[in-house]
A and B are shown apart, each in its own frame.
Chain A
Amino acid sequence: LQVRFRPSYFPFTEPSAEVDMSCVNCDGSGCRVCSYTGWLEILGCGMVHPQVLRNVGYDPQRYTGFAWGMGVERITMLRYGIDDIRLLFENDLRFLRQF
Chain B
Amino acid sequence: MRLPLIWLRDLVETELDASPLADRLVAAGIPVEGIERAGHELAGLVCGVIEAVERHPHSTHLLVARVDVGGRSLQVLTGAPNTRPGLRVAVAPAGVYVAGLKRVVQAQEMGGMRSEAVLLSQKEAGVGEDESGLWELPPEALAGASLAEALGLDDEVLEVAAYPNRPDWMGVVGLAREVAAVLGRPLRLPAVDYPAGPERADELCDVEIASFDDCPRYVARIIHAVPQGPVPWWIARRLYLAGMRTISPVVDGTNYVMLEAGQPLHAFDLERLAGRRIVVRRARDGERITTLDGQERTLDASMLVIADAERPQARAGLMGGAASEVSPTTRVVLLESATFHGALIRRTSRRLGLRTEASARFERGLPPSLAEWGSRRACHLLASLGARVAAGSVDRRREDDEAPVSISLRPERVNRVLGTQLTEAAIAEPLVRLGMEVQFEDDPEEGRARRLQVRVPAWRRDLQEEDDLAEEVARLYGYDRIPTPLPASIAAGRIPPEVDWAWQVRPALTAAGLDEVITYSFFSPAELEPLGLPADHEWMRAVAIANPLAEESSHLRTTLVAGLLRGARLNASRRQGIVRIFEVGRVFRPRGEARDGRAATGAGQAEAAPPAHLPAEVRALEGLRPEERLLAGIAMMLVPAAAPRQWYEGVRAYDFYDLKGVLEAAADRLGIALEWQPTELEGLHPGRAARIRATADGRRVVAGWAGELHPEAAERLDLPGRLYLAELDLDALRPMRREVTARTPGRFPAVQRDLALLVPLDMPASRVLDLVRSHAGSLAEEVRLFDAYVGPHVPEGTRSLGITVVYRAPDRTLSDEEVDAARQALLQRLEAEGIRLR
Distance from B87 Cβ to chain A, minimum over Cβ atoms (Å): 39
**Interface status of A55 (Cβ within 8 A of chain B):** yes
CA distance A7 to B472 in the complex (A): 10
Q: Verify B570–A90 contact, CB threshold 8 A.
A: yes
Q: Is A56 an interface residue (CB 8 A)?
A: yes
A47 touches B467 (CB 8 A): yes
| Total residues of chain B contacting the partner, CB 8 A | 42
Known: A55-B614, A56-B614. A96 touches B29 (CB 8 A): no
Question: Does B520 sit within 8 A of A, measured CB to CB?
Answer: yes
Are A49 and B579 in touch, CB under 8 angstroms? no
Contact A15 B614 (CB under 8 A): no
- Residue from B26, B416, B579 within 8 A of A6 (CB atoms): B26
- Residues A36 and B34 in contact in the complex (CB < 8 Å), given A5-B479, A56-B618: yes
Question: In B528-582, which residues have CB < 8 Å from any A CB?
Answer: 566-567, 570-571, 574, 576, 579, 581
A81 an interface residue at 8 Å Cβ cutoff? Answer: no
Cross-chain contact A7 with B517 (CB below 8 angstroms)? no
Write out the residue numbers on chain A whose beta carbons fall within 8 Å of the beta carbon of B26.
Answer: 6
**Which residues 30-45 of B sit at the A interface, judged by CB distance below 8 A?**
31, 33-34
Contacts of A54 in B (CB 8 A): 615
Please give, as numbers and ranges, the residues of chain A lying within 8 Å of B480 by CB-CB distance: 5
> Please, what's the 1-or-0 string for A58-96, where 1 marks a CB less than 8 Å from any CB in chain B?
001000100000000000000000000000111111101
B303 to nearest A CB, angstroms? 27
Least Cβ distance of A83 to chain B in Å?
18
* Neighbour of A7 across the interface among B28, B165, B465, B467, CB < 8 A: B28
Give Cα distance in the complex from A44 to B611, angstroms. Answer: 30
B234 at the interface (CB under 8 A from A): no
Q: In angstroms, how far is the closest chain A Cβ from the Cβ of B580? A: 9
Q: How far is the CA of A37 from the CA of B475 in the complex (A)?
A: 21
Any chain A CB within 8 A of the CB of B116?
no
**Residue B470 at the A interface, CB < 8 A?**
yes
Interface residues of B in 489-520 (CB under 8 A from A): 515-520
Q: Chain A: which residue is nearest B31 at the CB level?
A: A8
Please tell me if the beta carbons of B34 and A35 are within 8 angstroms of each other in the complex: yes
Which chain A residues in 1-55 approach chain B with CB under 8 Å?
Answer: 5-9, 11, 14-17, 35-37, 47, 49-50, 54-55
Tell me the bound Cα distance from A96 to B520 in angstroms. Answer: 16
Contact with A along B18-61 (1 / 0, CB 8 A): 00000000111101011000000000000000000000000000
Closest B residue, CB atoms, query A96: B515
Interface presence of B72 (CB below 8 A) = no
Complex CA–CA separation, A36 to B581 (angstroms): 41
For residue B417, which residues in chain A have a CB less than 8 angstroms away from its CB?
15, 47, 64
Question: What is the CA–CA distance of A15 and B476 in the complex, to the nearest angstrom?
Answer: 12
A5 to B614 CA separation, bound complex (whole angstroms): 34
Are B27 and A6 neighbours in the complex by a CB distance under 8 Å? yes
- B-chain residues with CB within 8 Å of residue A97 when the two chains form the complex: 515
Instruction: Give chain B interface residues in 151-210, CB to chain A under 8 Å.
Output: 163-166
Q: For the complex, count residues of A whose C-beta is within 8 A of B.
A: 31
| B357 in the interface (beta carbon within 8 A) | no
Contacting residue for A92 out of B28, B166, B465, B571, CB 8 A: B571
Q: Are B518 and A89 in contact (CB under 8 A)?
A: yes
Which listed residue, A8, A11, A60, A88, touches B29 by the CB 8 Å rule? A8
List of A residues within 8 angstroms of B579 by Cβ: 93
Taking CB atoms, residues of chain A closer than 8 Å to B520 are 89
CB pair B474–A55 under 8 Å, yes or no, is no
B645 in contact (CB, < 8 A): no
How far in angstroms is the closest Cβ of chain B from A99?
10
Q: For the complex formed, measure the closest distance between the CB of A74 and the CB atoms of chain B, giving whole angstroms.
A: 15
The CA-CA distance from A96 to B514 in the complex, in Å, is 11
> In the assembled complex, how far is the CB of residue A46 from the closest CB belonging to chain B, in whole angstroms?
9
Cβ of B593 under 8 Å from chain A: no
* Bound-complex Cα distance A99 to B776 (A): 49
Contacts of B615 in A (CB 8 A): 54-55
Chain B residue contacts of A88, Cβ below 8 A: 518
How distant is A87 from chain B, measured CB to nearest CB, in Å?
A: 11
B471 close to A (CB within 8 Å) = yes
Contact B27 A64 (CB under 8 A): no
**Cα–Cα, bound, A54→B518 (Å):** 35
Query: Of B26, B474, B618, which is in contact with the most chain A CB atoms at under 10 Å from its CB?
Result: B26
User: Given A50-B467, A96-B515, do A57 and B613 touch, yes or no (CB 8 Å)?
Assistant: yes
Most buried by B among A17, A37, A50, A93: A93
- The reply to whether A94 and B576 form a contact with Cβ atoms under 8 Å apart is yes
Residue of A nearest to B576 (CB): A93
A16 to B166, CA, bound (A): 14
Neighbour of A91 across the interface among B164, B416, B567, B618, CB < 8 A: B567
Interface residues, chain A, CB within 8 Å of chain B?
5-9, 11, 14-17, 35-37, 47, 49-50, 54-57, 60, 64, 88-94, 96-97
Please list 20 pairs of residues, one from A and one from B, whose beta carbons are closer than 8 Å in the complex, sorted by A's number: A7-B28, A7-B471, A7-B475, A7-B479, A9-B163, A9-B164, A14-B467, A14-B468, A15-B470, A15-B471, A47-B417, A55-B615, A55-B618, A56-B614, A91-B517, A91-B519, A91-B567, A91-B570, A94-B574, A94-B576
Beyond A49-B467, A91-B566, A91-B581, 16 additional pairs, beta carbon < 8 A? A6-B26, A14-B468, A15-B418, A15-B467, A15-B474, A56-B618, A57-B614, A60-B467, A64-B417, A89-B519, A91-B518, A93-B571, A93-B576, A93-B579, A93-B581, A96-B515
